[in-house]
Chain A
Amino acid sequence: MNTSNAMGDRRLKFDRLVAVYYMDMFRYAAWLCRDKSIAEEVVQEALLRAWKSLDALRDDAAAKQWLLTIVRRENARYFERRRLETVDIDNLTASQSALLAEAPNEELNDLREAIYGLEDDYREPLVLQVLMGYSTNEIAEMMGLKQGAVLTRLHRARLKLKENVADEVNL
């Protein structure tokens, strides 16, 4: 295979992956950092890193987890570089509040705020389970935790959400 063909195939493979998983990458990043502008930066960096290391992806079936792991690391790198302070939910920037402002109704907005207010340790496995569809075993692998720790965090996350929104959300 000549070089231009190889390059073309590589780009085609990458474009297909991005087309399938870009939304997941963005939503995961947004819920990790709780800021849509930062999520855009994180995803841009993640795409670049994924492009450069595409040859490391041997199993296409593992592509989603591979991309989300890259997003996770880029998010950590971003905050390592910036050393941002903890988000205060009562004092959000425009791009932070943009994440909350678009809920279609008040009930979902209350729930979105409650998810937003969860500690990182609880919010991340919940996003991976509910939004990304991973099993607790897979989440444990991605987060470097034991499955029992993941189950505990998920239990506590739902407990907090239930306590926070039970009055507002019609359960």
Chain B
Amino acid sequence: MSQTTENMNCTDYKEALMADPGFNDKSGHAETCADCQAFSTEILVLNEKIAAAMEITVPELVMPELPDIDTKNVVSLSSRRVVSKPAWFAIAATVLLAAVVGIRMTGPGTSYGTLQEQVLAHVDHEASALLPSTTPVSDRELSRAVPKDIAIMNHDAGLITYAKSCSINGKDVPHLVIQGTRGPITILLMPDERVAEVTTFDGVSIKGIILPVGDGSIAIIGDREEQLDQVKENVLDSVMWST
């Protein structure tokens, strides 16, 4: 469903109105259609009544006991070294998963057998990227992390809160984090990592998928309860390889 308002017929108009009673009817359809004018009035009345029905009474605020915060050491989010609880869960889950799938993470020079292992090791390496956030990266940060010679990406994948250029197999790989319904979701765009088929993997509390896309692949790793199918569709719709 879209809200394209040029050349609307009655069905388009009514559908748009039902989805958003405040939509901007640039076509002026209702001005020339008595039936749609009546329908518009009906939906606006319904909407006002829905709003009234939703206005439940709110109990008096009881502020919880707020713990002291060490404000001396509060620094900006980007340079904070403290890893939040969800990130700890992600790290713990990754390490557990690594143990299950037999990943060797024993220091510099470690070689990883599969792309899946490298992806997980990289997510673990940059665990600080997994901080929950509501602050989107700027267009500039996004375009720096996803240069045009690698891919063209818009913001439709979700709320992108982290965007950096990283390396997998010696190749530049845009590393992004979007905020999902169950916490941060890692996305690695790997234009040079060709895979034959979709690979899925599960951990104690995370799960992931590597999708073949053109001559490369895209890895998506999120919370175990995250609806990755929906995320996958959004990511695929928002990325286009340049090569």
A38 within 8 A of B: no
Using A131-B54, A146-B237, A154-B18 as known contacts, say yes or no to A56 and B77 having CB atoms under 8 A apart. Answer: yes
* A149 vs B237: C-alpha distance when bound (angstroms): 13
A55 within 8 A of B: yes
List, in ascending order, chain B residues with CB within 8 A of A126's CB: 50
List, in ascending order, chain A residues with CB within 8 A of B34's CB: none
Cβ contact within 8 Å between A108 and B52? yes
Cβ contact within 8 Å between B181 and A136? no
Cβ contact within 8 Å between B53 and A108? yes
B42 vs chain A, min Cβ distance (A): 5
Cβ contact within 8 Å between A152 and B134? no
B230 vs chain A, min Cβ distance (A): 7
Instruction: Tell me the interface secondary structure of chain A in the complex.
Output: helix
Cβ contact within 8 Å between A30 and B50? no
Q: Which of B19, B64, B179, B225 makes the CB contact (< 8 A) with A44?
A: B64
B67 within 8 A of A: yes
- Number of contacting residues on B, CB 8 A? 58
Cβ contact within 8 Å between A56 and B46? no
Cβ contact within 8 Å between A144 and B231? yes
**A37-54 contacts to B (CB < 8 Å):** 40, 44, 47-48, 51-54
Cβ contact within 8 Å between A76 and B47? no
List, in ascending order, chain B residues with CB within 8 A of A154's CB: 18-20
List, in ascending order, chain B residues with CB within 8 A of A146's CB: 156, 233-234, 237
Count A-B contacts at CB 8 Å: 152
Cβ contact within 8 Å between A112 and B66? no
Cβ contact within 8 Å between A62 and B135? yes
CB-CB nearest in chain A for B225? A80
Cβ contact within 8 Å between A18 and B69? no
Cβ contact within 8 Å between B69 and A10? yes
List, in ascending order, chain A residues with CB within 8 A of B156's CB: 146
Q: Which of A3, A26, A62, A131 makes the CB contact (< 8 A) with B72?
A: A3
Q: Which of A18, A73, A148, A161 makes the CB contact (< 8 A) with B46?
A: A161
**B103-154 contacts to A (CB < 8 Å):** 131-135
A102 within 8 A of B: yes
Interface residues as binary, A79-100 with B (CB distance below 8 Å gives 1, 0 otherwise): 0100000000000000000010
Cβ contact within 8 Å between A108 and B49? yes
Beyond the given A65-B134, A131-B51, could you list 18 further A-B residue pairs with CB under 8 A, ordered by the A residue number? Answer: A10-B71, A36-B59, A51-B66, A54-B69, A55-B77, A56-B77, A56-B132, A59-B135, A66-B134, A112-B53, A136-B19, A144-B158, A144-B234, A148-B2, A151-B2, A152-B19, A161-B46, A161-B50
Q: 15 A-B pairs, CB-CB below 8 angstroms?
A: A27-B58, A31-B56, A36-B56, A44-B64, A51-B69, A55-B77, A99-B56, A103-B53, A115-B50, A115-B54, A144-B179, A154-B19, A155-B1, A158-B46, A161-B50
Residues in chain B within 8 A of chain A (CB atoms): 1-3, 15-16, 18-20, 42-43, 45-47, 49-59, 61-64, 66-69, 71-72, 74, 76-77, 84, 131-135, 156, 158-159, 178-183, 225, 230-231, 233-234, 237
Residues in chain A within 8 A of chain B (CB atoms): 3, 6-7, 10-11, 14, 18, 22-23, 26-27, 30-31, 36, 40, 44, 47-48, 51-59, 62, 65-66, 69, 72-73, 76, 80, 99, 102-103, 107-108, 111-112, 115, 126-127, 129-131, 136, 141, 143-146, 148-152, 154-155, 158-159, 161-162, 169, 171
